[in-house]
Chain A
Amino acid sequence: MADFLINTVGLPEWLAWVITAGVAAALILNVIAGGALVFIWAERKIAARIQDRLGPTRTGGRFGWLQSLADGIKLLGKEDLMPEGADGMLFQLAPYVSFCASFCAFIALPFAFDFVGQRLNVGVFFVVAVLGLEVFGVILAGYASASKWSLFGAMREAAQVVSYEVPLGMCVVVPVMLAGSMDLVTIAEKQAGWVTNWYLFHDPFTFVIFWVYVTCAVASVNRAPFDLAEAESELVAGFHTEYSGMRWSFFFMAEYGSMFLVSALAALLFMGGWNGPIPVAELLGLSAGTGDTANYFVRLIGCFNLMGKATLGVLVMMWVRWTLPRLRIDQVMTTCLKYCTPIAAAMFAGAMFWQLALPGGVMRGMSRPAGEIREGWLEGPGGRAAARGTAVPAAAVPPKKLMQVQP
């Protein structure tokens, strides 16, 4: 787009870049904010249905579909309270810290082949790293509120998120290993074709590790049954006890943004990214070479695919939230340290050996060229192309090392 603005419209270079960045940022912001609106309404309806109620029915005519907008207006009108003993600066900044972390992670998240804010060659790593920073806002909020409920909630959240980053990182490493790249675009491209090419169905180990990822993802975004940080039966409202109005809603936008983010990450890593279960575009003959309009159309379909999968993930999280009871803090830690981490480590090793023995996965031969996987590996020091384009098990090593540094 920047090239288009410079060459066709004739804007100066710096202005073109600023506009390009602004458009991307605005789009991402709208995905988060608009998503939060829709998801809050969906959450109310789903919660109501699961509890045998109706939920909002009147606002905006049928189904109460304007309920979140009404909530938003109510929140805008609320008084912005701050406790007397609070640390003013940190108290006011904390929601924005959370929101910024959530927003920054979206920058590297591809929605379709080139619908991506900034394509990073270490996209997965970046997203996981930035997602871990969201907890920082929560801790600041808990500390600055000068309230014991808040501080308890923040400390719980810190312990939980730092612990769950370990198994989460291990789960994320497996698709990286299979694709031989940390680039989210490359990882999703490798899963193109029929549904059998998804890494979810690559081998039994990846199938198991997907569910470990789901558990850790729910825990790392603080959703029930892992929402110890805001356990309302014990801590009033946890870290956001003292917040009201817009600041409070920023925490919620960050939470829904992160939910969408981890779901989109699950879709990209395990469920084919923007490649649908059936390669519709390929069957229609719309490949990348058939002109700009067709190309754009394919991207748009891909974007819908990814958004659909991510939305499905968020809906599953809501279903889980309103179905399972909240865990105790020791149960949360047990789940992480005694179950998720060992299972993830074993599955990681299993996937590694499977890749060594049967490089094509279970459903090999369905449009995945044989021998592609081990090319760079067998040749060893054999030129750049072999190492960059193809799946190299070795590329999984740096993130593993980092995971050891982290705790």
Chain B
Amino acid sequence: MIASMMLAAINWHSVLFLVFAGLACAFAVAVVVADNIVRMAFYLVLSLGSTAGLFFLAGAEFIGSMQLMIYVGGTLVLLVFGVMLTAQAPFISIKTSTNDRVLAGVVGAALLVVLLQAAFSVEAWRRPGVGEVANPSATPLGMALLGVRVDDPPAGTSPSLVRSGYLLPFEIVSVHLLVVLVGAAYLARAKRRRIPRGIETADVAASGGPR
């Protein structure tokens, strides 16, 4: 009886929050401690996945999915490049030098102090509530990115009072990304050497086929 009352008194939302937060922190530490690049990437994926779990727990499904797609999916590409660029021998281990460890420790400690200060300066933390966001939807967000705010003003407000959306930042970001893509394509373009055709094929054959 007492046990069941105790179980009922627990805020399971907080418990799950602690579980996910603990997993995220633990795997983040594991990334630092591990010495194999693929294991590092694996722990990083688990850590970022736990963070996505935190977002889902908070009801922010869109951000959670974005976290999965961009960060976890991005780590995938990171992993491939990590393997391609470092794999001189199977399972190469990367030792961090003591200097680097000290430097990273100082930077990390400084960041921790700032974050702790910020965390303790909050007067009262609200406890996470279940279903606090009533019917969350990504549609207002999408409309706002197109410059139309559907979430805030009630119907019938005069157009001058309607707040503007995020069309300009959205356009700037998309143009920026386009420039980055074009730049990446330019950098990755094969440098063509001007050599006679016969020599080129012989060269390619000698180096083990085209890459």
Contacts and interface: CB of A to CB of B under 8 A. Distances in A.
Nearest to A376: B150
Contacts of B143: 376, 387, 392, 394-395
Given A14-B10, A125-B69, A87 B39 contact: yes
A388 B72 CA distance: 29
B23 interface: no
A139 interface: yes
A53 interface: no
A162 B69 contact: no
B139 A139 contact: no
A130 interface: yes
Contact of A14 (B12, B66, B138, B155): B12
Interface in B84-140: 84, 90-91, 135-140
A-side binding surface: helix, strand, loop or mixed?
helix
A242 B151 CA distance: 54
A155 B80 contact: yes
B146 A394 contact: yes
Contact of B4 (A12, A128, A394): A12
Contacts of B77: 158, 162
Contact of A129 (B4, B65, B90, B155): B65
Contacts of B90: 85, 146
Nearest to A381: B162
Contacts of B61: 120-122, 126
Nearest to B142: A395
Contacts, number: 159
B38 interface: yes
Q: Which of B7, B73, B149 counts the most chain A CB atoms within 10 A?
A: B73
Interface string A294-323: 000000000000000000000000000000
Contacts of B39: 87, 89-90
Contact of B66 (A12, A386, A402): A402
B70 A121 contact: no
Contact of A381 (B62, B69, B137, B150): B150
A382 interface: yes
A261 interface: no
Given A129-B72, A133-B72, A401-B145, 15 more contacts: A13-B8, A14-B12, A122-B138, A140-B42, A143-B38, A144-B38, A158-B76, A158-B77, A162-B80, A381-B150, A387-B143, A392-B139, A401-B173, A404-B174, A404-B177
25 contacts: A85-B90, A87-B39, A87-B91, A120-B65, A122-B62, A125-B66, A129-B69, A129-B73, A140-B38, A146-B90, A146-B91, A158-B80, A159-B80, A162-B80, A181-B137, A183-B137, A380-B148, A381-B149, A381-B153, A384-B150, A387-B143, A392-B142, A401-B170, A401-B173, A406-B70
Interface of B: 4, 7-8, 10, 12, 36, 38-39, 42, 45, 61-62, 64-66, 68-70, 72-74, 76-77, 79-80, 83-84, 90-91, 135-143, 145-146, 148-151, 153-155, 157, 159, 162, 170, 173-174, 177-178, 181
Closest 9 CB pairs of A and B: A129-B69, A387-B150, A383-B155, A395-B142, A129-B68, A394-B146, A126-B65, A404-B177, A125-B65
